[in-house]
Amino acid sequence: MTILYRLPSPARCEIMTKLFHLYSRRRCFHQNLNLTKETPETWSSQFEILGTLPKPNIFASLLSRCTRSFSFSSGLQVHAHVVKSGLLSDRDVGNSLLSLYFKLCPDIHLTRKVFDGLLYKDSVSWTSMVSGYVRVRKPEESLRVFNEMLSDCDVNPNEFILSAVIKACSDCKDLILGRCFHSVVLLRGFGWNHVVSCTLIDMYGRNHLPNDAVKVFEEMQFPDDVCWTAIISTLTRNDRFQEALTFFYAGIHRKCCPGMVPDMFTFGSVLMALGNLRRTRQGRQVHAMVFTSGIIGNVVVESSLVDMYAKCGLIPESRSVFDRMLNKNAVSWCSLLNGYCQNGYYEVVLKMFRDMDEQDDGYSLSTILRACAGLSDVRRGKQVHCHFLRKECCSEDVVIKSALVDLYAKCGLVDYAYRIFTEMKSKNLITWNAMICGFAKNSRPLETIQVLEKMLHKKQAIKPDHISFTGVLFACSHSGLVEEGKKYFTSMIKDYRIQPQIEHYNCMVDLLGRAELFEEAEELIMRSPCRNDPRLWVSLLGACACTTSYSNPSFAESVAKKVIDLNPDYHLSYVLLANIYRSSHRWDDAVNIRRLMKERGLRKSSGCSWIGVKTNSQITQIH
């Protein structure tokens, strides 16, 4: 550096400029900064002596290098040189400075001051502001800046600005405004752009409109890998698992997206779909594809494999993948814990929780609470609750609080659950469903209906799903609220476009059967797509057996015959029919049914009950 000091001023400045460019191209920004520190006079002063200004592209290059190297303190030094050199009016310098502050400065208000201080704002500057507010999770402010751009200057929105405001609409759940921007995209001819299209797919997916997302994808002329992954992820997120697999295999076989190569996000979504569909064979095939693609060591993919095998009921395979993982994070642990919990290994979940050290987060704690709820172990549930309260970072975690509501409701402490529910500042669909089902299973039908109505008519109404209606129909069936049950069953189909599943029909058959409306219950079964499912007929047969005033054993016989035809090995149909014969004093017929069970090798399965004895839980067989 001392050689530079001895050179004439013109040569010195020229060489310094070239050194800056050289170091910038080679990503040695610290050497750039040392040039300004080691010269006897500041670098800017050298140019002032010559009567010239430093070249703006040098400052822009330095600022970009500071941003990429996450060196905000060095960026502040460069900012000082920019101000002293009077180059804030330069477009490239201003945009580089704005990018530095948005990506590295923790104070968004300071970044806004930098933006307001720019003398020249172009589309890049406004794009940085609009997308920057989205990045720091301030979507409303992003939309406000976009309106400011339209009113204060002549900058036309480009594809990057439109992508940012569409993402802001998605975060704000403002679908109407999002559709308006979709129209702007089509009018300005940006429908071909992959960035915009991916953002539209994501917006429609997050607002539960997968059909619109599919339409956006199909209108693309040449979708790329990112768009392909986006549509698969969107369909998986909206429980359209089979369609997600259809797009995946179409891309693999180059039917919809020629030359698509799946990445870790593609495999993650596909494995989630396969796990929910319990496609073990296809899951193993995709596992082999992960091996051949060379990303088997990726923690996202391996965590998805753990989850997939667990959902398929293959706990040994799930544990094997987990044990082979070199890098485990909270997601990996949560996937394994969730798998054990889904398969009923509640004690294993509680033992593994002790081995997690500091890996526990909101999702893992919610899984532990689910295990305690599965064991009806309120004592250990309260211990986890206390652990949760000590973690200040999770104090408002809606996932954990929803699990707490579910825990206390399943343990019979429904009033305690409701207190937690009412104290929650934000509630999602899982929270509302936990409270609805909690009241329903604790024989509080009126409160069940009140919670559902409150959810439907709150200021920002949450759309109910099939679990919401399962809870309210269960409450109606166990309390004799026939008209209310019919009303909600009809509303589910007509108002919310939810196709009834087996559990909804089961609740309705039980509701009508308990009210001795047996013919109406039979008509409902015959109209349903589940007419050949023995569970519905067993529910009707059980209603016949539970009705003390029932005096039509011939109808019960026909129902029992239907169940036996559908599933001859189902012991419960024989037991219920024998009970009906006993209540009608047809002792010989009851004995014959028992004899038939014995001849066919059928036995009434025993149940079990968890009983807490001090600090241990014991299983008691009930015959």
**606 — pLDDT class (breaks 50, 70, 90):** low
Over 70: is that where the pLDDT of 617 sits?
Answer: no
Q: What is the pLDDT of residue 560?
A: 82
The answer as to whether 358 is a domain residue is no
Query: Domain span at residue 528?
Result: 524-623
Q: What is the dihedral of CA 502, 503, 504, 505, to 10 degrees?
A: 50
Contact by Cβ (8 Å): 5, 38: no
CA-CA distance, 85 to 57, in Å (whole number)? 13
The Cβ of residue 450 has, within 10 Å, a number of other Cβ atoms equal to 13
The answer as to whether 408 is a domain residue is no
The answer as to whether 612 is a domain residue is yes
Measure the N-to-C terminal CA separation of the chain; round to a whole number of Å.
92
The Cβ of residue 454 has, within 10 Å, a number of other Cβ atoms equal to 12
% of the chain residues with pLDDT over 90: 40
**565 — pLDDT class (breaks 50, 70, 90):** confident
The answer as to whether 546 is a domain residue is yes
Over 70: is that where the pLDDT of 354 sits?
Answer: yes
Over 50: is that where the pLDDT of 5 sits?
Answer: no
Over 80: is that where the pLDDT of 18 sits?
Answer: no
**37 — pLDDT class (breaks 50, 70, 90):** very low
CA-CA distance, 452 to 427, in Å (whole number)? 13
**4 — pLDDT class (breaks 50, 70, 90):** very low
Token reading at 544: 């016949």
Over 60: is that where the pLDDT of 36 sits?
Answer: no
The answer as to whether 593 is a domain residue is yes
Contact by Cβ (8 Å): 464, 431: no
The answer as to whether 319 is a domain residue is no
Q: How far is CA 513 from CA 328, 468, 495, in A?
A: 52, 22, 26
The pair phi, psi for residue 288, each rounded to 5°, is -65, -40
The answer as to whether 367 is a domain residue is no
Q: What is the pLDDT of residue 505?
A: 95
- Mean pLDDT, residues 601-621 taken together: 61
Contact by Cβ (8 Å): 511, 520: no
**420 — pLDDT class (breaks 50, 70, 90):** very high
Token reading at 565: 């035809």
Q: Which of 136, 141, 142 is nearest to 106 (CA)?
A: 136
Lowest mean pLDDT of 18-27, 160-169, 341-350, 524-533, name the range. Answer: 18-27
Q: Which residues of 472-497 are buried (b: 16+ CB within 10 A; e: fewer)?
A: bbbbbbbbebbebbbebbeebeeeee
Contact by Cβ (8 Å): 36, 81: yes
Task: Please indicate whether residue 609 or residue 532 has the higher confidence score (pLDDT).
Answer: 532
Contact by Cβ (8 Å): 164, 203: no
The answer as to whether 201 is a domain residue is no
Q: What is the pLDDT of residue 121?
A: 83
pTM of the model: 0.74
CA-CA distance, 371 to 171, in Å (whole number)? 32
Over 70: is that where the pLDDT of 20 sits?
Answer: no
Over 90: is that where the pLDDT of 271 sits?
Answer: yes
**547 — pLDDT class (breaks 50, 70, 90):** low
The Cβ of residue 58 has, within 10 Å, a number of other Cβ atoms equal to 22
Domain count, the chain: 1
pLDDT in tens, 102-132: 888 888 888 888 888 888 888 888 888 888 8
Query: What is the domain-level CATH number for residue 537?
Result: 1.25.40
Over 70: is that where the pLDDT of 333 sits?
Answer: yes
Task: Please indicate whether residue 390 or residue 262 has the higher confidence score (pLDDT).
Answer: 262
Over 70: is that where the pLDDT of 138 sits?
Answer: yes
